[in-house]
Structure 1
Amino acid sequence: MGFLYSIIIGGVAGYIASRLMESHHGAIFNIILGIIGGFVGGFIARRLGNDPDNDGLLMNLLIAVGGAVLLIFLGRIF
């Protein structure tokens, strides 16, 4: 169930990040971006002292969106 949960949260996070950053890519790219963004956001959150595994759905979504936005931003720079 955890893997399916990650896919759903990643898809939603990728969609939200693409709308926030006005990045127009396909749905599959948004899902992948959201999943990777979730890992990046979770890594950063752990480094800052937060444990995303114990947080709720909304916090996990916000962390994944933040990571996906960061990835879009870095992609635009390079």
Structure 2
Amino acid sequence: MFWTILGWILFGLIAGFLARALVPGKDDIGVLRTIVLGVVGSVVGGLLFGLLTVGLRGFQPAGWIGSVIGAIIVLVIYNKVTGRKSRT
């Protein structure tokens, strides 16, 4: 159980970091929010993959590419909702 949680945290950190690197502009959201971004992005990526392919079969986390795409979607929505990265 401990290793599973640690794996999700590490997976979320990497996916969130990659999403932050791919979305233009500077993100000052910190490590904890980056981890949450990656984990939520993985869930969103899994849902999108399920909708586009075989249909939803319950909770299915996405692979690396789906997780990063989901994290990018979550980051863009987060920036819009919080007003971050607004161009002036």
Structure-2-length-normalised TM-score = 0.68
SS in 1 for 2:28: coil
The answer to whether structure 1 residue 77 and structure 2 residue 59 are counterparts is no
Per the TM alignment, residue 24 of structure 1 is displaced from its structure 2 partner at its CA by 2.9
1:41–1:66 Cα contact (<8 Å) kept = yes
Identity %: 26
Report what 1:28 is aligned to: 32
Q: Which runs of 4+ in 1 moved over 6 A?
A: none
Structure 1, gaps ≥5 residues long: 54-58
Greater share of helix:
1
Equivalenced residues, count: 72
Q: How does 1:1-78 map to 2 (within 5 A)?
A: 1-21=3-23, 22=25, 23-49=27-53, 60-78=63-81
TM-score, length-scaled by structure 1 = 0.76
The residue identity in structure 1 corresponding to 2:74 is L
**Greater relative contact order, per chain length (Cα 8 Å cut-off, separation 6+):** 1
Bigger-Rg structure (1/2)? 2
Report the alpha carbon displacement of residue 25 of structure 1 after superposing the two structures with TM.
Answer: 1.6
Instruction: Give the conservation status (yes or no) of the 8 Å contact 1:10–1:38.
Output: yes
- Aligned-pair RMSD on alpha carbons? 2.1
> Please, which runs of 5 or more residues in structure 2 have no aligned partner?
82-88
